[in-house]
Amino acid sequence: MSKRQVIKEKPIIKGKQVTSRGEEDYIKAIYKLSDEAEGERVTNHQLAVYFAHTAQTVNEMVRKLEKKEMLVYQPYKGSVLTTLGMEEAVRLIRAHRIWETFLTDKLGYAWEEVHEEAEMLEHLTSTKLADKLYAFLGAPEVCPHGNYIPALSDLKRDDLDTCGRLKLSKAKKGKQYCLKSVVDDKALLVYLNSLNIYIDLCFKIIERDLVSDIVTLTYDGRNTPLSGAVAQKLFVCEVYDAEDNA
């Protein structure tokens, strides 16, 4: 009733979020972890390790997301995303990969530089913006790391990272392969740069030492040994049109 109320005149619009940044990060993490691990449920412990959060914090976040019906949580068992949660995760992953593609293809970023930027931008990307960007990019199939850019309706997680592809660590000696995707890990990407390894590079496996756990590839006329740890993060397709360059 006082004149001071006049201050309330202009209610500037602000981003009204249904899910906050933190919540979105949890949804994405659950989506990813439920794929990496064999089981479907993601335990609170896994999330605690992933985010370096305490058990209590994880518990609170999971309970909050449960109330919002983004996931179903069973104490001592873990969480499974609901369809709503999956949709949210796919929306974020789609935006993430679209931004990564934009940053490399249009702005000339290196593939190891795009993750952090995309990680921020994805959270403010409306469906409209994502779709327009995607069209502008020419509807690319994959991001700079070779992972599929899912459509919003595309909730099948298996397709996203590895469908039709083989871990290099499971490839066979003597055969030829083409690199199709890599895990989005900065140190790995920088390392691959130093070896001149990139998406769509074709090579032959000339050695696979199970004791030392080293795979040796041939490309560019030279031999390159890769540790099992690295080989596990590279996904390849077999190539049949033989043509040696050793």
Number of residues that bind DNA (CB under 7 A): 24
210 touches a copy of itself by CB under 8 A:
no
**Per CB under 7 A, does 45 bind DNA?**
yes
- If one asks whether residue 49 binds a copy of itself (CB under 8 A), the answer comes out as yes
Residue 158-197 contact track with a copy of itself, rule CB under 8 A, x = bound: ----------------------------------------
Q: Which of 48, 199, 202, 239 binds a copy of itself (CB under 8 A)?
A: 48
Q: Alpha-carbon distance 238 to 160, whole Å? A: 19
CA 79 – CA 70 distance, rounded (Å): 10
67 contributes a contact to DNA by CB under 7 A: no
Give 74 or 83: the residue with its C-beta nearer to DNA: 74
| 3-state class percentages of the chain: helix first, strand second, coil last, to nearest 5 | 45, 20, 35
Candidates 38-46, 89-97, 185-193, 195-203: pick the segment binding DNA (CB under 7 A). 38-46
**CA-CA distance, 215 to 208, in Å (whole number)?**
5
Please identify which residue in 37, 55, 151, 246 interacts with a copy of itself, judged by CB under 8 A. Answer: 55
Of 204, 201, 202, 168, the closest CA to residue 183 belongs to 168
In this structure, the dihedral spanned by the alpha carbons of residues 107, 188, 92 and 16, taken in order and rounded to 10 degrees, is -80
The answer to whether residue 37 forms part of the interface with DNA (CB under 7 A) is no
Residue (of 226, 220, 225) closest to 245 by Cα position: 220
Residue of 12, 13, 67, 76 that binds DNA (CB under 7 A): 76
Burial status of residue 192 (CB atoms within 10 A of its CB: 0-12, 13-18, 19 or more): buried
| Residues within the interface to DNA (CB under 7 A) | 3-4, 20-23, 43-45, 52-57, 59-61, 63-64, 75-78
